[in-house]
Chains A and B, each alone.
Chain A
Amino acid sequence: MDRFRTLAEREMARLHALARRLVGGDAEDVVQECLLRAYRSFSQLEHEQAGGKWLTSILLNCCRDDWRARGRRVEQVELDEVDEFSLFRKIADEDPFPYSDSVHLDFLHQFGSEDVRAVLASLPELYRVPLVLVHMAGYHVKEVAFMLDVPLGTMLARLHRGRKLFERQLWGYAEENGLLKEGARP
């Protein structure tokens, strides 16, 4: 139990941060369930240095169960032409802060962590999960393909679409929430 407890206490904050991005307000329940399942199968963990990844895989299963239990709300996101969307070009074309020399960075600086969480929550889980695992949790694309048990090509295609969706939703969120005015945020 001591070894399990050491691992769990070390990983707890990271697991909770990841769960918040994947299941929002259910994060605490999901992490709790993850710890219970991990405890029951701790003897299956062959290399303790892989404990973090092992816990992440269990957490992903718990997240999937949470989505199912909540009736797997299918987010209504238009996918047409999303692969062609370029936030870089959109910002350059629309020029939201016409007196700025660093308009692209200024655009990103309008967003606080709650805004980003809201944008992430608007993405279908199919695309949100690889995006969060690669770009926020720092896993390599091959590790994520392994964790999600999908071929690398499938994972890369989902990641690509997830990034494009994120770019488009970020722009849409900025429009809806008045972030495209100079000085909208101090």
Chain B
Amino acid sequence: MITCSEAVKQLWDYLDGVVEEPQRELVEEHLSFCRRCCGELEFAEELRGFLASQADDDLPSEVRARLTATLDGLDRA
């Protein structure tokens, strides 16, 4: 049995899949009866999704042009 504080400390790692047995089982056991920590877990998932959604790979055209010019320079070298 682990406390809320111990469970919360491991929630992100749990989501990352890096909590090993037997600790993983203890986290899951705690989540099975603790609504508050389930809320923490859901929010951690939302926060992960929020961070991932910020990944914007759009390259401004002027930056692309300058980086392409760098590659052109290497072509000529």
Contacts and interface: CB of A to CB of B under 8 A. Distances in A.
Contacts of A36: 70, 74
Interface in B9-42: 9, 12-13, 16, 18, 39-40
A179 interface: no
A87 B18 CA distance: 22
**Interface residues of A: mostly helix, strand, loop or mixed?**
helix
B59 A135 contact: no
Contacts of B43: 87-88, 104
Interface string A82-121: 0110111100100000000000110010010100100000
Interface residues of B, number: 32
A167 interface: yes
B47 A167 contact: yes
Give the size range of A's interface with the partner: 35 or more
Given A86-B40, A87-B43, A12 B18 contact: no
A31 to B, nearest CB: 6
Nearest to A108: B50
Contact of B51 (A12, A16, A136, A152): A136
Interface stretch (A1-9, A44-52, A69-77): A1-9
B34 to A, nearest CB: 13
Given A28-B66, A137-B55, A166-B51, 20 more contacts: A1-B74, A4-B74, A5-B74, A5-B75, A9-B68, A12-B64, A13-B58, A17-B57, A28-B63, A31-B67, A32-B66, A86-B8, A88-B43, A89-B40, A108-B46, A108-B50, A136-B51, A156-B18, A160-B12, A167-B47
List of 3 A-B pairs having minimum Cβ-Cβ separation, nearest first? A13-B59, A135-B51, A88-B43
